[in-house]
Amino acid sequence: MKTFNIRQYRKIPKWSVAILALLVVLSPSLLFIKQPVFFLSLHLAQIVIILGIYLLMNYYGLFILLSIYGLYVLGVHTTNIIYQQSHKALIHK
């Protein structure tokens, strides 16, 4: 069995990590999410992702983390839209 060696992977340049971290931090405000619970969960997800990127520091890990985060944000956004639609429907009854 081959042992895992982190040095085999090319290191991610620092500027790309900085841009990614900025995008991750700005994404909740870009999605216009108003519920504080969603804000809290998104900020926790941001911390986990940034830590994960620094721990893994390889392109496969980065790709997996970004795809998971993208699905998570998409899920939160659609949940928010469904919540707002049902809230409007209840008010107009």
Q: Could you tell me which of 70, 76, 81, 93 has the C-alpha nearest to residue 37?
A: 76
Domain extent at residue 46: 13-91
Enter the pTM of the model: 0.35
Is residue 6 included in any domain, yes or no? Answer: no
Q: Answer yes or no: is 65 within a domain.
A: yes
**Within a domain: residue 81?**
yes
| pLDDT tens, N- to C-terminus, the chain (93 residues) | 555 555 555 565 666 666 666 666 666 555 555 555 566 666 667 777 666 666 666 666 666 667 777 777 777 777 777 777 777 766 665
- The pair of structure tokens assigned to 4 is 């895992």
In a domain, 8, yes or no: no
Q: Indicate the number of domains in the chain.
A: 1
- Indicate whether 43 belongs to any domain: yes
Residues contacting 79, CB < 8 A, separation 6+: 38
